[in-house]
């Protein structure tokens, strides 16, 4: 059985340098909610990636569900960031690393 995760890359927008503590608080509250709902596997800021603020790896049932979660991200809805969403096919011991 194929396993998929969905990777959101949060890209800094033109106004990202105006992000306030209140915006970050809303962002973190959103992440907490997603974590409690078991919708995220991993998330965090990225260093050394110009123009990229961070990423979220969703464990949702579909790309469409992950896309809906991306559109709810406060950094995106409030215009500070944009995002890309990619599908990641999981390669692990359970599927012999896709061999």
User: How is the chain split into domains, by residue range?
Assistant: 4-98
The rounded distance, in Å, linking the Cα atoms of 53 and 31 is 14
pTM of the entire structure?
A: 0.94
pLDDT in the model for residue 1: 76
pLDDT average, residue stretch 55-71: 98
Q: How many CB atoms lie within 10 A of CB 75?
A: 23
CA torsion sign for 48, 50, 55, 61 is: negative
The CATH architecture to which 4-98 belongs is: 2-Layer Sandwich (3.30)
* Cα–Cα distance measured from residue 94 to residue 66, given in angstroms and rounded to the nearest whole number: 24
Per-residue pLDDT tens over the stretch 29-57: 999 999 999 999 999 999 999 999 999 99
Average pLDDT score over the chain? 97
Average pLDDT over residues 6-27: 98
**Contact, 41 vs 55, CB < 8 A?**
no
């Amino acid at each position: 059985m194929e396993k998929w995760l969905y990777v959101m890359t949060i890209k800094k927008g033109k106004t990202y340098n105006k992000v306030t503590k209140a915006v970050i608080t809303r962002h973190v509250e959103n992440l907490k909610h997603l974590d409690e709902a078991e919708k995220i596997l991993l998330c965090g800021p990225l260093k050394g990636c110009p123009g990229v603020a961070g990423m979220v790896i969703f464990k949702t049932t579909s790309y469409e569900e992950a896309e809906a979660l991306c559109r709810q991200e406060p950094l995106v809805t409030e215009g500070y960031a944009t995002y890309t969403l990619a599908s990641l096919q999981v390669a692990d011991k359970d599927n012999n690393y896709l061999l």
